[in-house]
Amino acid sequence: MGTLYIVATPIGNREDITFRALRILKEVSVIACEDTRHSKKLLSLYDITTPLISYHQHSGTAREDKIGDVLFDGKDVALITDAGTPTISDPGGKLVSRLVERFGDELSVIAVPGPSAIIAALSVSGFIADAFVFYGFLPHKKGRKTALETIVSEERTIVLYESSHRILKLLTSLESLCDSGRKVVVCREITKQFESVYRGTTATILEKVSGAPIKGEYVVIIEGDR
C-alpha cells in the first residue's frame, strides 16, 4: 500500500513552500491536483516533472477509485490544491474521506503542512485566536441568513472565506446584524503583490473595502460577541 501525502502549496507567493513539500512532490508517483494547468506553473518553477491527475469538485467516484488503485498498487500519491492546505474548505476532503473509508488503517495519510489562508489571516488580525470558529464559504442562498445569524451571536473569533462577487453583500449583512462597535478584519490577496488588510468596526469596514479594488478571495475575521 502506498502513502497519501497531503501537501500544502503557496496561497500566493510561490516562495512559500517548504523544502519537505518540494521533496515529496518530486518523489511520489502521482500528484492529484485541482487544476493541472495551474499546478504545472508552480511545479515547473521547481523542476518537478511528476505526473499529474486532476481531482476537483466535479470529480466523481471513478476518479477517486483510480487514485485509490494507484495507492493500492504500492505507489505514493501527493494531494495538492490550487492554493493552501488541501481538504480545508476544499474538494480534496471528499477524496481523503473516501480513501480512508476504502482502506481503513492500511492507508497511511501524512500531512506535509504549510500555507493556510485561515492561519495567515488570524496571525495578523490582532484578535485573540486561542479559540476560533471557521465557517469556510457561506451558502450562497439557502441557509445563508441562518448562518449569518449564528455567526454574529458566536462568542469566539469567527473566520470565513468570501469571493470578490459577494464580499460587499456579506459586509452589508454584517453591518446590519452586528452592533456598530463590533470589530472586523478583512484580508485580501494574502501573500500576493496587492496584499491588503482592512481593520475597523462593522460601521466602517464596508466603506474601506468598497473604496478599494474588489478582486481575489477574502478572509473575513469577526470579533466574538463577548
Each domain of the chain, given as residue ranges in start order, spans: 3-112, 117-222
Does the domain at 3-112 match CATH 3.40.1010.10? Answer given as yes
Q: Which of these, 83, 80, 91, lies nearest to 25 by C-alpha position?
A: 80
pLDDT in tens, 51-88: 999 998 888 889 999 999 999 999 999 999 999 999 99
pTM above 0.85, yes or no: yes
Whether residue 225 is predicted with pLDDT greater than 90 in this model: the reply is no
Q: Which phi and psi (to 5°) does residue 220 adopt?
A: -110, 125
Q: What is the DSSP letter of 105?
A: G
How many degrees, rounded to 5, is the angle at CA 79 between CA 92 and CA 8? 95
Burial class (CB in 10 A: 0-12, 13-18, 19+), 102: middle
Res. 132: pLDDT tops 90? yes
Report the percent of the chain where pLDDT is more than 70: 100
- Assign domain 117-222 to a CATH class: alpha beta
Of the candidates 18, 26, 19, the one whose C-alpha atom is nearest the C-alpha of residue 76 is: 26
